[in-house]
């Protein structure tokens, strides 16, 4: 039998408070995320604005907060002016990023209206185009969106039907500008100067804007760390965040390493923190740059790249089916582990965006004219967003290990815990073993906890089980048995290959 994994929780030892923005998401004009995803006039559930009510219900259940828009790679060719005003007058454009045609039927006003219908927790996170455009266009968008009245562009917004400003506080200064695939790709020096000038100008309009500078597209980029250092040297006093993006998939059938993907995510976070703090020290600054992990997910990227080569380059389809990964139980366990990694670094990761929200590598899937359903990854995110609010407790596990090809010796247990304002504690835990249950003991010390309110598990006898249009409820969390709190010690057994939510009252 696998030896018991253990850790101790103490209210005196914490990581930091969870910023609600940690549970953000991402809507890009890519594939069917917007069209036939959140927006489908004529759908049986569509409201007067064309928003699918079945999708809105699931988005609210998911619990997302900040929603990044409109990209992603799409933003580097984005002309915001195309997306405002009377819909029938908006131009159709070629989108170079995803080799598609953009109709602009859904634009800036529709995005803001969508957020309002999601609920008060949904906050805009707007990206500006620093690929093919620059300072002037960013300022024009900021004026249109945020100035109340009395200027040409604020009056234009009112004439378009939105008298009240959008009050967008959180802005991304471009997207993945380190990537050669990006339209308008730049060197670190080129981007750093442009980001600094854009940030300086945007702060002249509103000193309280919050700005995200582009970091590396992933930790394996050849320019990683050097990029962050050069960009932050130019922007350190002008921005609030540096971005991180990371996607994970099983390489060559190596499930063991795939299950340990969060090892890379935690390393990425810690390396960016170290680089940012190094630049802060060089600049003699007491300021700390926080991290915006504004794209993360499981994504079967090699499969997409292989299919992309088959596209007819003379065709520019509108809202094609792109990146519609179907997620298994194994994928959901890895996904849950990535959420744990973000929570474990809540002191510096204060914004995070699951990429993306609907249809495109998403927790929610739809069929045009038909149903909407939850993917397996929906359940870990919804649970974390609901019960992961509060103070993250410092968790240092003593766990049995296993060997991985990519990361060497790795803990079978990956875990964190969050204490809510009312004193209740939620433990989030993943058992990475593909074959064996993992006994768990948690010493609860001075937390004053007396009972187990719930132990929910996402696991399945078939690790490849998934929810589909034909079987939308094939996979769902179930209640664990035998979990007890005795003498200040939580005792539980984590099923093989499982994501666990244990709530203690």
Q: Strand, helix or coil at 397?
A: coil
Quickly list DSSP for 90-102.
PPPEEETTTTEEE
> What token pair was written down for 382?
């919804």
Q: Strand, helix or coil at 290?
A: strand
Q: Count the alpha carbons within 13 Å of 72 in the hemisphere toward its beta carbon.
A: 26
DSSP class of residue 299?
-
**Spatial distance between the Cα atoms of 464 and 323, rounded to a whole number of angstroms:** 19
Q: Count the alpha carbons within 13 Å of 202 in the hemisphere toward its beta carbon.
A: 32
Cβ within 8 Å of residue 9, ≥6 positions away: 393, 395, 417, 425, 442, 443, 444, 445, 447
Which of 81, 143, 295, 495 is the catalytic position?
Answer: 295
**Spatial distance between the Cα atoms of 84 and 89, rounded to a whole number of angstroms:** 9
Question: β-strands 14-17, 391-393: how paired?
Answer: antiparallel
Q: Strand, helix or coil at 145?
A: helix
**Spatial distance between the Cα atoms of 148 and 150, rounded to a whole number of angstroms:** 7
Which of 28, 110, 137, 176 is the catalytic position?
Answer: 176
176 is an active site residue: yes
Catalytic positions, written as ranges: 176, 295
């Amino acid at each position: 039998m696998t030896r018991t994994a253990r850790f101790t929780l103490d209210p005196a030892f914490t990581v930091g408070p969870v910023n609600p923005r940690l549970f953000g998401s991402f809507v890009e004009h890519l594939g069917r995320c917007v069209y036939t995803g959140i927006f489908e006039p004529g759908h049986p559930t569509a409201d007067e604005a064309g928003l699918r009510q079945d999708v809105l219900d699931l988005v609210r259940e998911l619990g997302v907060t900040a929603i990044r828009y409109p990209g992603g790679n799409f933003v580097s060719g984005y002309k915001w002016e195309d997306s405002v005003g009377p819909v029938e007058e908006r131009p159709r454009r070629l989108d170079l990023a995803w080799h598609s045609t953009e109709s602009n039927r859904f634009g800036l006003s529709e995005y803001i209206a969508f957020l309002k219908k999601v609920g008060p927790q949904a906050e805009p996170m707007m990206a500006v185009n620093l690929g093919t455009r620059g300072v002037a266009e960013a300022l024009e968008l900021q004026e249109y969106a945020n100035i109340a009245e009395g200027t040409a562009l604020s009056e234009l917004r009112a004439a378009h039907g939105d008298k009240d400003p959008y009050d967008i506080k959180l802005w991304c200064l471009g997207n993945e500008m380190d990537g050669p695939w990006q339209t308008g790709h730049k060197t670190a020096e080129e981007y750093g100067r442009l980001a600094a000038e854009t940030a300086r100008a945007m702060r002249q309009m509103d000193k309280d804007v919050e700005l995200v500078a582009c970091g590396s597209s992933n930790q394996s980029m050849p320019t990683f760390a050097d990029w962050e250092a050069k960009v932050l040297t130019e922007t350190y006093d002008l921005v609030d965040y540096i971005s991180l993006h990371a996607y994970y998939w099983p390489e060559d059938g190596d499930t063991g390493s795939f299950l340990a993907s969060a090892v890379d995510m935690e390393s990425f976070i810690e390396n960016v923190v170290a680089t940012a703090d190094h630049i802060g020290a060089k600049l003699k600054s007491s300021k700390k740059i926080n991290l915006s992990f504004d794209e993360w997910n499981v994504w079967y990227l090699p499969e997409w790249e292989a299919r992309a080569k088959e596209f007819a380059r003379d065709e520019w389809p509108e809202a094609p089916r792109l990146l519609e990964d179907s997620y298994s139980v194994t994928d959901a366990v890895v996904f849950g582990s990535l959420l744990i990694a973000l929570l474990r670094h809540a002191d510096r990761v204060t914004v995070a965006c699951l990429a993306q929200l609907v249809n495109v590598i998403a927790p929610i899937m739809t069929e045009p004219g038909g149903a909407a359903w939850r993917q397996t990854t929906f359940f870990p995110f919804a649970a974390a967003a609901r019960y992961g609010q509060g103070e993250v407790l410092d968790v240092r596990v003593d766990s049995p290990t296993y060997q991985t090809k990519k990361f060497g010796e790795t803990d079978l247990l990956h875990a964190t815990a969050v204490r809510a304002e009312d004193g209740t504690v939620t433990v989030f835990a993943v058992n990475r073993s593909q074959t064996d249950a993992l006994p768990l003991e948690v010493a609860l010390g001075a937390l004053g906890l007396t009972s187990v309110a719930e132990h929910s598990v996402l696991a399945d006898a078939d690790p490849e089980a998934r929810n589909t249009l034909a079987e939308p409820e094939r996979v769902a969390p179930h209640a664990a048995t035998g979990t007890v709190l005795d003498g200040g010690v939580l005792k539980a057994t984590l099923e093989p290959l499982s994501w666990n939510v244990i709530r203690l009252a």
